Structure 1
């Protein structure tokens, strides 16, 4: 794995197509044989290693606009229905209160990985990552290097996995009859973290009927072997859905793909903070990349003597203008500048708030104040980013391969942040 995560690494050097092919590796041979037994026969895409993204799928023939990229039969999908039909089914069905769809899938993945050569899903388990770059795997030192808003979400992710493991302890204990080893060693926190990240990063959206044996949480998960080797590109367009007629999960390419090029899909218009949080990677040249301004940073731009600040912030909150305040590739967002204009208002100008919400300027001096405050925000955020990069540089010294990978992802995010803020400063200074 390279330094930007599974799907997004800087290109180092161009390699020949022959040297990239992975289809002759034993684990991929076994995976394709296993899939063929379940009805998947396509040879359009083969596994390969790409210098810029790592492992992915290569097109062996030209893919035209609206051509089928991949069609994976229902028998190949791992869903809660699969779990309920398995040896775990009777344990889940009699457990009260019912377990969640996510926990059912996690328990199955853990049990199947533990089964080793006896697992019917071994060919798929063998190609899953051994660990992930999601924040659930981050140490506190690495989490503290993240931007403040993302830092809180990353910590929350770690805590959610711990809480899930703790709350599931008695359910896991009920599975002891299936095991020869103590259940606590098989269904450990590390095992659950791996399974949870596998589900969270690799499932495709597929709505399932509500099962009476599971909790009422939405069941929209399907692990899709081979299909999940497709990497993310924010500029690619595809259509993806489960075909009721064909009983297959189908992805069609909107733009097509050249022969011997990597075939991509798009997970959605996500900025790099969300990609890191949800999938454990960042995407270079991401058109959706932004830097967030949180409330704590916003307050640093105001003096204590501004007695109207609490009322102004309450007003912004009531009108949903304290969230998603960002700097992007084209400078400060409309929402950020509108929020700053509202904060700039003097008491005698409060009657203008409706026109400000519609994008109108108030006065020349208020516009200057707004621009200067936006510049101040840039300076504050750049300072935080520089301090994080300095601490990151020290942590890299002597770090193991796993932490080095995590630090490299955070470093890319922070350097992208600096580039966006630097460009915003230039635009605001014009």
Structure 2
């Protein structure tokens, strides 16, 4: 039985990854990259049970070893666009288009070109759709946590605004097209291109072009490199090497043979990851629940005549933003803001001391903990209602809607876990406090 158990475990482990390097689209991509100078076989595309598509290491990588070095000729930048058939149209257009719009227009045009596109092998491996909020309907956005809800609407509105404000520019490209520009450069097409650039680009600062707007030109789409998945615990160094004329990524910890290679986009919580990249990371050590001002006010006494002054003081000292709960309980910023809001009129002279971490007297400390618990309760109730509405939307949902709902559900479940843990930790603090020096 033990022997069969080990074999079963080994078999199960093997099924967790499936190489994709023999799929025609990846064969074509590798051939295309080789023509442009990329010949490394250290990373191969594979499907992983936990993360989906990614890159697997074929040989051990030592600490600080090179993970990938992608030649400049493989990168898609605004220089690529300006040197293409779109270049003359962009250079003539006034006022100049933004670097982002130039890249979006190029992606849409190249997808339209099909087999005639020089970038077809890359276009073919790009996702057909994304789970960024730009794609979400009102029903989905309304299920997001309050702060993220506002940012999601803003993202969706930015894409709509970019599309409507670019209609005349898109129409100017008609001589290059085989179908009406208004059809080709639809909102859906721009949304796809916008998400492709914003979720898959690497940071690379370029010289300011006189043919583009003054917005920072920091985009570079990096074929193959963008197959690397994000892991919060991984450390890498990344940047464009002027000496080698390559975009290089080195692994700080190294990576074992046949394991998935990861990169890290930064210390982002899952709300930020969903907003900027369209995914969430299980086990994210940076996961938090945000406390917005509207939620905070629900716990405050509106009969407190000094409340407006307190809130103004917190705003002036940047203490009304990034108030959070984490798996280790309420953040220092949140508890500091609550301690200040708890102060009585005779304690106002100590406001600055409180912001520096001074201890509040026993009854004010108890009020602070009780208010934090009340915040947890309000946020948990709001989250439960969202999950209930979400369960109804899942009934009969298609694949696209199911993927979007899964992202929102993950956030809400994570939120409940964080708040539940915070409640337990705060409950321990409600035990009788010993007398301690503080403000009278």
TM range (shorter): over 0.9
Q: Is 2:161 the partner of 1:176?
A: no
**Which residue of the partner structure matches residue 273 of structure 2?**
275
8 Å CA contact retained: 1:238, 1:252 = yes
**Which residue of the partner structure matches residue 4 of structure 1?**
none
**Which residue of the partner structure matches residue 69 of structure 2?**
71
**Which residue of the partner structure matches residue 301 of structure 1?**
299
Larger relative contact order, structure 1 or 2 (CA cutoff 8 Å, min sep 6): 1
8 Å CA contact retained: 1:17, 1:260 = no
- CA separation in 1, counterparts of 2:92 and 2:12? 55
2:35 maps to which of 13, 34, 37 = 37
Q: Classify 1:287/1:14 alpha carbon distance in 2 versus 1 (closer, same or farther; 3 Å).
A: farther
- Structure 1 vs Structure 2 CA RMSD: 1.0
Displacement of 1:304:
2.4
- CA separation in 2, counterparts of 1:302 and 1:409? 32
TM-score of the two chains, using structure 2 as the length reference: 0.94
8 Å CA contact retained: 2:25, 2:125 = yes
Displacement of 1:140:
0.6
Displacement of 1:180:
2.0
1:350 maps to which of 340, 348, 351 = 348
Q: What is the CA deviation profile of residues 275-333 of structure 1, one whole-angstrom value per residue up to 9, with x for unaligned ones? A: 00000000000000000000000000012211211111111001100000000121000
- CA separation in 2, counterparts of 1:140 and 1:14? 41
- CA separation in 2, counterparts of 1:358 and 1:65? 40
Which has the larger displacement, 286-295 or 19-28? 19-28
What secondary structure, in the 3-state scheme, does the structure 1 residue paired with 2:250 have? strand
Displacement of 1:18:
9.0
What does 1:193-212 correspond to in 2, within 5 Å? 193-212=191-210
What secondary structure, in the 3-state scheme, does the structure 2 residue paired with 1:130 have? coil
- CA separation in 1, counterparts of 2:274 and 2:234? 19
**Which residue of the partner structure matches residue 5 of structure 2?**
none
What does 1:389-428 correspond to in 2, within 5 Å? 389-428=387-426
Tell me which stretches of 4 or more aligned residues in structure 1 moved more than 6 Å: none
Structure number, greater radius of gyration = 2
**Which residue of the partner structure matches residue 106 of structure 2?**
108
**Which residue of the partner structure matches residue 160 of structure 1?**
158
What secondary structure, in the 3-state scheme, does the structure 2 residue paired with 1:250 have? strand
- CA separation in 2, counterparts of 1:180 and 1:35? 28
What does 1:306-317 correspond to in 2, within 5 Å? 306-317=304-315
Q: What is the CA deviation profile of residues 218-269 of structure 1, one whole-angstrom value per residue up to 9, with x for unaligned ones? A: 0000000000000000000000000000000000000011100000000000
Q: Classify 1:62/1:398 alpha carbon distance in 2 versus 1 (closer, same or farther; 3 Å).
A: same
2:386 maps to which of 371, 388, 394 = 388
- CA separation in 1, counterparts of 2:359 and 2:341? 13
Q: What is the CA deviation profile of residues 109-135 of structure 1, one whole-angstrom value per residue up to 9, with x for unaligned ones? A: 000000000000000000000000000
8 Å CA contact retained: 1:61, 1:258 = yes
Displacement of 1:355:
1.2
Structure 2: gaps (5+ residues): 1-10, 429-440
Q: What is the CA deviation profile of residues 13-71 of structure 1, one whole-angstrom value per residue up to 9, with x for unaligned ones? A: 94526960000000000000000000000000000000000000000011110110000
What secondary structure, in the 3-state scheme, does the structure 2 residue paired with 1:198 have? helix
- CA separation in 1, counterparts of 2:330 and 2:300? 18
What secondary structure, in the 3-state scheme, does the structure 2 residue paired with 1:47 have? strand
Q: Classify 1:18/1:30 alpha carbon distance in 2 versus 1 (closer, same or farther; 3 Å).
A: farther
TM-score of the two chains, using structure 1 as the length reference: 0.96
Q: What is the CA deviation profile of residues 406-427 of structure 1, one whole-angstrom value per residue up to 9, with x for unaligned ones? A: 0001001100000000000000
2:55 maps to which of 53, 57, 61 = 57
8 Å CA contact retained: 2:17, 2:49 = no
**Which residue of the partner structure matches residue 324 of structure 1?**
322
Structure 1: gaps (5+ residues): 1-12
